[in-house]
Amino acid sequence: MIIGLVGTIGAGKQTILDYLQEKYGYNSVSCSDVLRDMLKEQGKELTRDNLRELGNVTRKEGGNGAIAKILLEKLRNNWKANYVVDSIRHPDEVAVLRTSPLFHLVAVDADLRLRFDRVKARKREQDPVTLPAFVERDQREMFGTGNEQRIRETMELADELVLNNGSVEELKQRVDDLNLVSDERLRPSWDDYFMRLARLAAQRSNCMSRKVGSVLTNNNRVIATGYNGTPKGVKNCNEGGCERCNSAVAKGTSLSECLCLHGEENAIIEAGRTRAEGSTIYTSFLPCLWCTKMIIQAGIKEVVFSEIYDLHEASIKLFETAGVLIRRLK
């Protein structure tokens, strides 16, 4: 796996890098390593300003992803190792690194005043010592244009954001909680995969009350999908097809007047009894009592859901009585 780090000055990137090395055995590499080698070859002093200037020139001459291309070629020579990459400072560098299926980007940030205090405390020779000077450098690196550093834009591309306004131990715990080193960051588990498909199916719904999606699976294969909406040949819910959903009735009331089929119903109808029997249904909401009865009668063995309705006790009790497994996946 390749974990990329991008963040503001003094946010705590180095602490995360050190922790990933110490606890998980990651190898530390940096886009700045490429520039440092280039500065040495040019006989120039190794300073932050020189690194930034050389980076800008390199991006201007070779494209904004030039530095990342050089680095990625080095990593591909030993792709089975785990790396944490620091000093990612431009969106095009992210684009290059994402050509590797092993890449995952983490952004790190903290309150400005806290970051300034941390920078003062570390007492590096090239660091600004006054708040105005710190802000000036921070803004220059965050909001560059063209081939300059564009850290803010780069952070917006991150897969995860870590806010580090606490202690070092709290930051380490946050890294552990995110489980950044899990292989599921690169390839979702079957549960996560099917629930994502259910949520994607829900986006097809035009119900004015709630969007719900479902996926029927067997042996980790998709059998059918479904989402809630009015029956075939009836005007869509968002076009006024269901009077109940388009009125101001309270949630959970007048359900007998609703014309929409639920996502679970549509998935089961699509699959048919023969294919549904023994399957697992993934649904973005815990099924209502009506769908619970249908799921049981179709012979579905397991229900995996994400969100829960206010009126859920009866559904859970009936599933338990019928011996259908139920799991919540958040």
Beta-sheet pairing, 213-218 with 160-163: unpaired
Catalytic residue among 93, 141, 264, 265: 264
* CB contact at 8 A, 112 and 12: no
Catalytic status, residue 264:
yes
Helices (H), 26-167: 31-42, 48-62, 66-76, 91-97, 112-122, 131-142, 151-155
Q: Which residues contact 202 (CB under 8 A, 6 or more apart)?
A: 211, 212, 213, 227, 263, 284
Q: What's 187's DSSP letter? A: S
Name the strands in the sheet holding 27-30, side by side, starting at the edge strand that comes first in the sequence.
27-30, 83-86, 2-7, 103-109, 160-163
Q: What angle do CA 189, 30, 169 make, to 5 degrees?
A: 65
Q: Which of 202, 184, 207, 183 is nearest to 282 (CA)?
A: 202
Q: Which of 310, 253, 264 is nearest to 290 (CA)?
A: 264
Q: Which of 292, 261, 280, 263 is nearest to 223 (CA)?
A: 280
Q: Which residues contact 268 (CB under 8 A, 6 or more apart)?
A: 216, 224, 226, 276, 281, 294, 295, 298, 300
DSSP string, 104-137: EEEEEE--HHHHHHHHHHHT-TTS--SHHHHHHH
Active site residues per annotation: 264
